[in-house]
Amino acid sequence: MELQERSPLLEVKGNRELKRPLVKVPSQLPLPGSRFKRGTNQMEDALEPEKKRVRGLGTATKIDTSHPKAPVLTTVPQTRGQTAAPKGPKKIGPRCSTAIATVLKNQKPGPALPAQKPGKLKCCHEKTQMLGQENQQLWSQLREAQQQATALGAERRTLQEELTRVRAQAEQDHQELETLRAHVLELEEQLGTQQGLVRELQKEQLGLQEEQRGLATRLEEQERKLQASESALSESQAEVASLRCEAAAQVALLGEQGERLHGLEMERRRLHNQLQELKGNIRVFCRVRPVLPGEPTPPSGFLLFPLGHGGPSDPPTRLSLSRSDERRGTLSGAPAPTTRHDFSFDRVFPPGSGQDKVFEEIAMLVQSALDGYPVCIFAYGQTGSGKTFTMEGGPGGDPQVAGLIPRALRHLFSVAQELGCQGWTYHFVASYVEIYNETVRDLLATGTRKGQGGECEIRRAGPGSEELTVTNARYVPVSCEKEVEALLHLARQNRAVARTAQNERSSRSHSVFQLRISGEHAGRGLQCGAPLSLVDLAGSERLDPGLALGPGERERLRETQAINSSLSTLGLVFMALSNKESHVPYRNSKLTYLLQNSLGGSAKMLMFVNISPLEENVSESLNSLRFASKVNQCVIGTAQANKK
């Protein structure tokens, strides 16, 4: 029993029960069927003294002292010189060793064997029996031990398996732990990020809270403003209602005033025309051009502009031209006497008068065309006296020196625009022709007809129509100054082309610019329209009959006669109209025929007599002034507006 308490099996069992970590210890128990193996060196050393003590028995007894609590005695049968093959490993416990020890102790040296032989045999026999019993006990112990060893082996395997499993588990757990650690790290990282985010969000939240507070303040402010606006709105609505009433009253008043305005406009037109009539339906203005650079200065007193009865404030209407009678002076030997010729016109423009000043005087007359009165303005005078300058303007189209044509159209466009506010709509169509040697040519021709001087005929616009039109001539609608400028430029170009073909043609031709005006008041069903004619007449100079005529001169004489005849026809027409003759010779010249509707009782006429300031032109100047004076004496009917 003592042996069992100290048995390694028990200790192993106890260890297992205590769940102590297992240490791999090589088993000290001999296994049945296996060859006996010597223990470790350490074990041999421990057995060394015992071996010496039991050698005398013919067997070597080995005591296993590797385990302090369970020394094991192993008996190995031994033959000299050779190690006997063990029949089976024998493990002898402490009780066996005690028995052997007891046997050895009881062996005492005795007398010689024969004397003691029966006793000794008996004793040996007993001892053998005792040893056999002991051997059996030992064998049973051995079996028991072997069983224990088998159980222990099984248990060891189980434990090893368990260990392997536990290790695998531990490895797995370790891996899991690593994974968890990594996960934890990741989570920590995420946590850090989240914390950063949270901080940001907190910051943002703070900002938003701040903004919210600001918005709340603004909202309050807006609400206050809204309230103020609402009260202002209700006030305004009340005001609007009262304004509406006022507006309705104003509309009614406006209607009344529109009526009154129309009445006033009609009255203005009537008075305007009365004034024009008082001024005379044919008026004559005299314009003296300045001395040009390079021209001789005329003697003082050659041209005089006597003041009117009203003094300097009165516009000049008189002109005196002094002519020296050289023939009389030569005959008497005394200085040539001068004859002073006085002329009086509706208006006289001395050399310094600008284009604007001249136009001022005719603006009202031009405006009559809008009211439906035909208006005709002529420029009469010798070549170089300033007719083209007066009608079209200075060279190069400089706006400062723009002539009557562009200024008249600008004025008409602006007045038409003003009348547009009163319901009037106006349309303007321009034409520009040249009458040379009794042939008519379009000055606005373009393209292939440009400069060709394609012949045109003067015809009635339609059967039974009073209106005259020029066939093959362009009639161009105009509505602004730029368009008029372009037309004048085109006319200048066409004249220049013709001039190369026939020298100085322009001075021997009449240029007739005509503007057809048609106005309409749709609201009142009124219509009015009348032509405005602006005529740059051919040079009025006469050919000196005393000069010898060459073949070229004869041609020139014919031209001059044609010019003179058309100019004298114009004079005759004026006379016939003035004398209220039944026949007015309009058809005697192309010029008077074309201007038929702009001359006569229902028209307003103005003639500019252009005078050269040079003494050398005195004769022609006198002729022009005499012709103009005759025209000025004409009183032609009462103007009638073309109204429908």
Part of the chain binding ligand ADP (CB under 6 A), chosen from 74-82, 117-125, 136-144, 379-387:
379-387
Contact 626, 636 (CB under 8 A): no
Question: Residue 590: which residues within 8 A CB-CB, separation 6 or more?
Answer: 435, 438, 439, 440, 458, 566
Site for ligand ADP in 470-509 (CB under 6 A): 507
β-strands 282-288, 604-611 pairing: parallel
Distance in angstroms (rounded) separating the CA atoms of residues 84 and 59: 10
> Residue 464 half-sphere exposure, CB side, CA atoms within 13 Å?
0
Place of tokens 């907190």: 202
Helix (H) or strand (E) holding 494: helix 481-501
How far apart are CB 606 and Mg ion at their closest, in Å? 18
Nearer to ligand ADP, 30 or 393 (CB): 393
- 559 touches 573 (CB < 8 A): no
Q: Are 405 and 513 a contacting pair, CB within 8 Å?
A: yes
Task: Note whether 389 binds ligand ADP by CB under 6 A.
Answer: yes
Candidate list 30, 71, 381, 529; residue touching ligand ADP; CB under 6 A: 381
Choose from Mg ion, ligand ADP, none: what does 610 bind? Cβ within 5-8 Å by kind: ligand ADP
Q: Name the residue with the smallest CB distance to ligand ADP.
A: 386
Which residues from 235-294 bind ligand ADP, rule CB under 6 A? 289-290, 292
Residue 627 within binding range of ligand ADP, rule CB under 6 A: no
Query: Does residue number 384 form part of the binding site for ligand ADP (CB under 6 A)?
Result: yes
Member of 32, 308, 394, 585 binding ligand ADP (CB under 6 A) = 394
Q: What is the DSSP letter of 592?
A: H
Residue 373 or 380 with smaller CB distance to Mg ion: 380
Q: Does 610 bind ligand ADP (CB under 6 A)?
A: yes
Q: Residues 329 to 388: which contact Mg ion by CB under 5 A?
A: 387-388
* Measured distance CA(439)–CA(446) in Å, rounded: 19
Residues contacting residue 168 through CB under 8 Å, at least 6 positions apart: none
Q: Which of residues 511-570 bind Mg ion (CB under 5 A)?
A: none
Q: Which stretch binds ligand ADP (CB under 6 A): 20-28, 144-152, 377-385, 551-559?
A: 377-385
Between β-strands 509-521 and 424-436, what pairing exists: parallel, antiparallel or unpaired? Answer: antiparallel
- Provide the 10 A C-beta neighbour count for residue 613: 20
| Helix or strand (DSSP H, E) at 134 | helix 113-279
Say which amino acid occupies 320. S
φ, ψ (nearest 5 deg) of residue 275: -60, -45
Residue nearest to Mg ion (CB): 388
Q: Which region, left, alpha or beta, applies to residue 294 given φ > 0 means left and ψ of -120 to 50 means alpha? A: left
Determine, following the binding rule CB under 6 A, whether residue 602 of this chain makes contact with ligand ADP: no
Closest C-alpha to 430, from 503, 344, 488: 488
User: Quick check: 387 binds ligand ADP (CB under 6 A)?
Assistant: yes
Closest CA to 392 of 506, 286, 529: 506
| Cα of 198 vs its chain's centroid, Å | 44
- Counted residue by residue, the chain has a size of 644
Structure tokens at 25: 């210890």
- Candidates 388, 469, 509, 598; binder of ligand ADP (CB under 6 A) is 388
Cβ at position 353, least distance to ligand ADP in Å: 7
Find the part of the chain contacting ligand ADP (CB under 6 A) among 173-181, 188-196, 387-395, 446-454: 387-395
Task: With CB under 6 A as the rule, give the number of residues binding ligand ADP.
Answer: 15
Tokens of residue 233, six digits: 């709105």
289 binds, among ligand ADP, Mg ion, none (CB under 5 to 8 A by kind): ligand ADP
- Rule CB under 6 A: is residue 383 a binding residue for ligand ADP? yes
Is residue 367 a contact residue for ligand ADP (CB under 6 A)? no
CB of 415 to ligand ADP, least distance (A): 26
Partner interacting with residue 384 (select from Mg ion, ligand ADP, none; CB below 5-8 Å by kind): ligand ADP
Give the one residue of 61, 66, 97, 385 binding ligand ADP; rule: CB under 6 A.
385
Q: What is the C-alpha separation between 134 and 96, in angstroms, rounded?
A: 7
Smallest gap from Cβ 466 to ligand ADP, in A, equals 31
User: Near ligand ADP by CB under 6 A, which window of 128-136, 160-168, 328-336, 380-388?
Assistant: 380-388
The footprint of Mg ion (CB under 5 A) covers 387-388
Residues that bind ligand ADP (CB under 6 A): 289-290, 292, 381, 383-389, 394-395, 507, 610
